[in-house]
Structure 1
Amino acid sequence: MPCPTPQWEYAPVATFLYKLGRAAFRRRRLVALLWVALLAVAGIGAATAPTATSSSFSIPGTEAQRAFDLLEERFPGAGADGATARVVFKAPDGQKVTDAGHKAVVEETVAALKAGSDQIVSVADPYTSGAVSQDGSTAYVSVSYKVNGMELTDATRDALEGAGHAAQGKGLTVELGGDALQTMPETGAGEIVGVVIAGIVLVVTFGSLVAAGLPLLTALIGVGVGVSSITALASVLDLGSTTSTLAMMIGLAVGIDYALFIVSRYRAERADGRSQEEAAGRATGTAGSAVVFAGLTVVIALVGLAVVNIPMLTKMGFAAAGTVVIAVLIALTLIPALLGFAGDKVLGRKQRKAPAGETAKTAKEEKPNAGTRWARFVIRRPVLVLVLGVLGLGAIAVPAASLEMGLPDDGVKPVSTSERRAYDLLSDGFGPGFNGPLLVVVDGDKATADRTVSTIKKLDGWAAVTPATPNKAGDAAMITVIPKDRPSSAATENLVHDIRGATGDDVLVTGATAMNIDFSQKMNDALVPYLALVVGLAFVLLTLVFRSVLVPLKAALGFLLSVVAALGAVVAVFQWGWLGSLFGVEQTGPIMSMMPIFMVGVVFGLAMDYEVFLVTRMREAYVHGERPGEAIVTGFRHSARVVTAAAVIMIAVFSGFIGMSDQMIKMIGFGLAVAVLFDAFVVRMAIVPAVLALLGHKAWWLPKWLDRALPDVDVEGEKLTAHEEPAPAPELVKV
């Protein structure tokens, strides 16, 4: 007879969380006070911290970055990150900006700009700096500032806009461009609408305002702590202004979902006749285990963005991962504590009014619900459901083959903005490539620089090449090359590669356009290693959770299908313009370079959430002796409604960010919303049960040697029975 394993040789996850849930329930006042205190400290830190600026952008290991670093070293101040602005003047048809009257207006504007702020470094007169188009129709004034766009004072920005407006009514068309006009992204009413929709879904799901309010309250507290902490540390860690928005987006969605699952499990445990404290402990031990492992997959996906080795993306990933960790901790501690305060008010009215003992009996005789009926339909026709699901997502994924990536500039902004109109005026007056000049940095003497100019002029695709400008020491020089074509065109990309190929290692190409090209290439190169790392780690984690090889494999393949379909939808809307007006897309253009890899990371984590929540209930039924088909039905009976509600909530939250003015946030909000839609309702609710039905017992197969090697984390809560404390008869009559 084998020797029994000592009871406390290890602490399964479910057992530890069970005790944590009961402890939080009993000490609810202390737990609630600690979270409120943490929120207050984070809020005070955010209120007293310096204003966040635009995160510094660098791409380590690229030629464009090496050129920029060399520029900073050999031309001190020339590569500074201060803001710039362009005031563009366009004369009426048949007239020129060099006409006496128009020239007086331009010079008047130059004088006003110089006197407008002490943050200005220089204001270039277009008539002396050569900033007049060849046909004389267009001119621009370049303004340089000491600080970046986010640090400009309102008075400085008002002075810039005032100078432009003053010249507007004097016979010239005047538009303003440049990053000096950069402001914090505008938030629309969409986020509030998303939270309201989440509240409505929770009320419908639970039939109780108190139960609906708990996930919203805890999610808002979690997001408050996370975003306030990011704001407090933004200046010190150079996090940038968009990091907190992305953390809010992800933290709010997962915070509501994680709390939703624990509250739902608590209600189910109460329906089985357990006491309030015992129900809170078991809900935290079972649903809380799923929350922990689901949260871990999200954290792995976000932290894994460090593989790309782009500091800005790494910081965004770590900040969002921190918010997810806070959401998990709140779900495991604050939710049980608040359940202690709420008591049976989280139960539906019928459940509260049911006679003692009647609820447990009703739970055992539960009628088939929509989830049960859908699961039985899929089990009867698994091949049909599988083929339709795969073909449908495959069709939506087709546009992803035409994906074009780039970094945003003023050319992708709506035509209603002054920045976009200034961009177009400069393109018309000076050529399409004027808005994307290439800066060639020569690490050598003047003779080397002159040879470089001659070499570049022998190439195709340039509109202008300036003479070399040496530094004071004479050991480096700058050359500006204006491409013939627009910055995001293939011709301009070819010109960059041609210059690099025709010159030696002592010649480096940088500038916004070259940085864009190198950034996109770095994203492409990092995608496969990133996928391998994230999917590999998550595969190990899910193998540990489900004690199966095929279930994690199916989960990973399903994710790839949903994320490619989501990318196809993003390309169709933001690049092709299909239904663009419906989503507020006024200007189509390339998809932002970081979008695919960022979406892969976030969507993978969220997809695994639904996999864990849905399939753990199936696994739980299977290990309790049910046949594979019955386990699928049981999992859907208990989890389908809650998973559906969680997906709708997440879609609503992400969709709320489509109303943001920032193109990147808008695109990410749309991409995550459609990805959750595809993954939750097509992959997890249709393809997953179809595959499990076809696999049968094989779905839960695990090699014996691996079964012995893996620790038993007991996500299903099998060992909770040994720790369940005797409790008095449940008091379900409370109203």
Structure 2
Amino acid sequence: MIFDRLADGIQNHAKAIVVVWAIILCFAGYFAIQAGDVMSYDVNDMAPTDSESIIGIQVISEHFPTSTVNETATPIIVVYFENESESAAAIQFLDDLNEAAKDVEGLTGVAHMDPMVSSQGDGIVLGYMMTDYGEDVYVSTKTPELREFIAEVKEATGFTGDTYLTGTPAISYDMEHNALEDVSKIDPFTVLMILLLVGLFFRSFVTSAVPPMTIGVAFVATMAVIFGLGHIMNIFFITNMMILVSMMGAGCDYCIFIIARYREELRSGRDHHDALHEAIVWAGESITISGASVIIGFGALTICKYSMISTMGICLALGILIALIAALTLIPAILQLVGDRIFWPTRMDAYKEGGKATKGWYAWFGRLGDRYFHRSAEFSIKHAKAIAIVAI
């Protein structure tokens, strides 16, 4: 069997495998850090070029001055007014912005439309900021500077009306900024919950740290590959968040399967070599099929015309593939080198009759789980036809 040969190869070359992954981590780290620089932050790049919305923006761009970087990237200022006198003040403010813009690098002026008035007498005036930042600059990255510039002109002129900087660049910036804020909360929470859950399951904080660290190495390798892919396709910044969460969820699951099977084989009386061999063969086969299914699922997204979804499918499938390879090689190699010390401070003797793992809260939860799954199995077997009918 292929997994028998895989097990033999890993057990015979465990040190070399760990060294290879360490080299990959060091080499990939440099490129992974720069992966964000090649990702797209322009929402216009997400939709197909033949979509009505993109064509509409291109038509608008023919009638209003735009950036030399992207003809669809026009910052828009929305100035709200409540009555006719405020309408005149809003127009004057946009004229003041136009004059002030001439002294700001990258801005060439502000053009505005006639006021749009509602039946209640209030309305808005739209101003279009003409930019010239150069070919290598995304206008969206200048959003904070543009908002600061608008605030300074408001303070200098005494204008007190409500203003909003919007348009494609501002929307892209706000999406990126909010997404990165979410990532800063989601990623630590994900890792913390994995550490807690795995630590409770194995009664070991050492064991709980191994799966996230392994997938962390795989994540760095994935981001390095994405750095290369970013030069030939549009990969959107939100992909970064999706990759880490999906890799942590699926990848840690694969790692836990192997470690748990290794522990069960040790508890059944096998020695270290045979226990690890069986874990690689049987758990390895299961997680490979599971991983292949996930890869196919994400890979199916590549047929979408919506480029954000299609490129995300490629990256997610790639991330799961690398996580699967790490789980199949790095985890067994670590187990080969450290043995049952990976379960420290818990010793395998704790699982024997009368051991610590057979007493107290851990044993109580274990018995609760055994009863639940035992009864679930009996119920499923006894009512198999009824369950199948309900499921259909």
Q: TM-score, structure 1 length as denominator?
A: 0.44
Measured in 1, the distance between the counterparts of 2:54 and 2:147 equals: 35
1:243/1:235 CA distance change after superposition, 3 Å: farther
Aligned to 1:151, which of 135, 138, 141? Answer: 138
In angstroms, what is the RMSD of aligned CA positions? 3.8
Aligned to 2:75, which of 85, 102, 118? Answer: 85
Q: Is the 8 A contact 1:89 1:140 kept in 2?
A: yes
Map 1:321-340 onto structure 2 (within 5 A). 321-340=317-336
1:226/1:693 CA distance change after superposition, 3 Å: farther
Map 1:697-708 onto structure 2 (within 5 A). none
Deviation at 1:145, TM superposition (A): 4.0
Measured in 1, the distance between the counterparts of 2:125 and 2:309 equals: 37
- Is 1:130 the counterpart of 2:114? The answer is yes
Q: Is the 8 A contact 1:218 1:330 kept in 2?
A: yes
Measured in 2, the distance between the counterparts of 1:285 and 1:225 equals: 25
Deviation at 1:163, TM superposition (A): 2.5
Give ranges in structure 2 of 5+ residues lacking alignment. Answer: none
Map 1:222-621 onto structure 2 (within 5 A). 222-347=218-343, 351-353=347-349, 369-379=367-377, 381=379
Deviation at 1:233, TM superposition (A): 2.8
Deviation at 1:317, TM superposition (A): 0.4
Tell me the residue number matched to 1:38: 24
Map 1:30-109 onto structure 2 (within 5 A). 30-47=16-33, 50-54=37-41, 56-59=45-48, 64=52, 67=55, 80-91=70-81, 93=83, 95-99=85-89, 103-109=91-97
Measured in 1, the distance between the counterparts of 2:169 and 2:199 equals: 46
Q: Is the 8 A contact 1:71 1:78 kept in 2?
A: no
Measured in 2, the distance between the counterparts of 1:160 and 1:347 equals: 55
Q: Is the 8 A contact 1:262 1:287 kept in 2?
A: yes
Q: Is the 8 A contact 1:24 1:333 kept in 2?
A: yes
1:692/1:167 CA distance change after superposition, 3 Å: farther
Measured in 2, the distance between the counterparts of 1:231 and 1:47 equals: 9
Tell me the residue number matched to 1:218: 214
Per-residue CA shift, 1:683-707, capped at 9, x if unaligned? xxxxxxx648967xxxxxxxxxxxx
Per-residue CA shift, 1:445-468, capped at 9, x if unaligned? xxxxxxxxxxxxxxxxxxxxxxxx
SS of match in other structure, 2:165: strand
Tell me the residue number matched to 1:531: none
Tell me the residue number matched to 2:8: 22
Letter of the 2:167 partner, please give it: G
SS of match in other structure, 2:76: strand
Aligned to 2:101, which of 107, 113, 133? Answer: 113
Does 86-95 or 190-199 show the bigger shift?
86-95
Measured in 1, the distance between the counterparts of 2:144 and 2:305 equals: 38
Tell me the residue number matched to 1:180: 169
Per-residue CA shift, 1:385-405, capped at 9, x if unaligned? xxxxxxxxxxxxxxxxxxxxx
Q: Is the 8 A contact 1:88 1:174 kept in 2?
A: yes
SS of match in other structure, 1:163: helix
Measured in 2, the distance between the counterparts of 1:241 and 1:32 equals: 31
Q: Is the 8 A contact 1:22 1:336 kept in 2?
A: no
SS of match in other structure, 1:138: strand
1:345/1:276 CA distance change after superposition, 3 Å: same
Deviation at 1:176, TM superposition (A): 1.7
Letter of the 1:222 partner, please give it: A
Aligned to 2:126, which of 140, 151, 160? Answer: 140
SS of match in other structure, 1:328: helix
Q: Is the 8 A contact 2:73 2:169 kept in 1?
A: yes
SS of match in other structure, 2:247: helix
Letter of the 2:271 partner, please give it: S
Q: Is the 8 A contact 1:53 1:150 kept in 2?
A: no
Measured in 2, the distance between the counterparts of 1:371 and 1:160 equals: 58
Measured in 2, the distance between the counterparts of 1:149 and 1:96 equals: 39
Deviation at 1:65, TM superposition (A): 7.6
Measured in 2, the distance between the counterparts of 1:342 and 1:210 equals: 11
Q: Is the 8 A contact 1:302 1:320 kept in 2?
A: yes
SS of match in other structure, 1:205: helix
Letter of the 1:161 partner, please give it: R
Does 259-268 or 83-92 show the bigger shift?
83-92
SS of match in other structure, 1:236: coil
Deviation at 1:312, TM superposition (A): 2.8
Does 216-225 or 232-241 show the bigger shift?
232-241
Q: Is the 8 A contact 2:111 2:130 kept in 1?
A: no
Letter of the 1:263 partner, please give it: I
Deviation at 1:262, TM superposition (A): 0.6
1:212/1:46 CA distance change after superposition, 3 Å: closer
Q: Is the 8 A contact 2:75 2:165 kept in 1?
A: yes
Measured in 1, the distance between the counterparts of 2:11 and 2:353 equals: 23
Letter of the 1:372 partner, please give it: D
Deviation at 1:352, TM superposition (A): 3.0
1:81/1:204 CA distance change after superposition, 3 Å: farther
Q: Is the 8 A contact 1:58 1:310 kept in 2?
A: yes
SS of match in other structure, 1:174: strand
Deviation at 1:86, TM superposition (A): 1.7
Per-residue CA shift, 1:490-538, capped at 9, x if unaligned? xxxxxxxxxxxxxxxxxxxxxxxxxxxxxxxxxxxxxxxxxxxxxxxxx
Letter of the 1:173 partner, please give it: D
Map 1:627-666 onto structure 2 (within 5 A). none
SS of match in other structure, 1:237: coil
Q: Is the 8 A contact 1:247 1:319 kept in 2?
A: yes
Deviation at 1:167, TM superposition (A): 4.0
Measured in 1, the distance between the counterparts of 2:372 and 2:291 equals: 28
Percentage identity across paired residues of the two chains: 18
Letter of the 2:168 partner, please give it: D
Deviation at 1:295, TM superposition (A): 0.4
Equivalences, count? 363
Q: Is the 8 A contact 2:11 2:333 kept in 1?
A: yes
1:355/1:292 CA distance change after superposition, 3 Å: closer
Q: Is the 8 A contact 2:80 2:123 kept in 1?
A: yes
Tell me the residue number matched to 1:641: none
Deviation at 1:323, TM superposition (A): 0.3
Letter of the 1:175 partner, please give it: Y
Per-residue CA shift, 1:150-205, capped at 9, x if unaligned? 82385x43431122212444232222212322333223323202211110111100
1:242/1:354 CA distance change after superposition, 3 Å: closer
1:272/1:328 CA distance change after superposition, 3 Å: same
Letter of the 2:105 partner, please give it: S
1:142/1:66 CA distance change after superposition, 3 Å: closer
1:378/1:173 CA distance change after superposition, 3 Å: same
Per-residue CA shift, 1:62-103, capped at 9, x if unaligned? 66289569969x99x98954422122223455633315xx55
1:329/1:693 CA distance change after superposition, 3 Å: farther
Measured in 1, the distance between the counterparts of 2:114 and 2:38 equals: 37
Letter of the 1:280 partner, please give it: L
Measured in 1, the distance between the counterparts of 2:325 and 2:319 equals: 10
Measured in 2, the distance between the counterparts of 1:85 and 1:65 equals: 17
Letter of the 1:112 partner, please give it: A
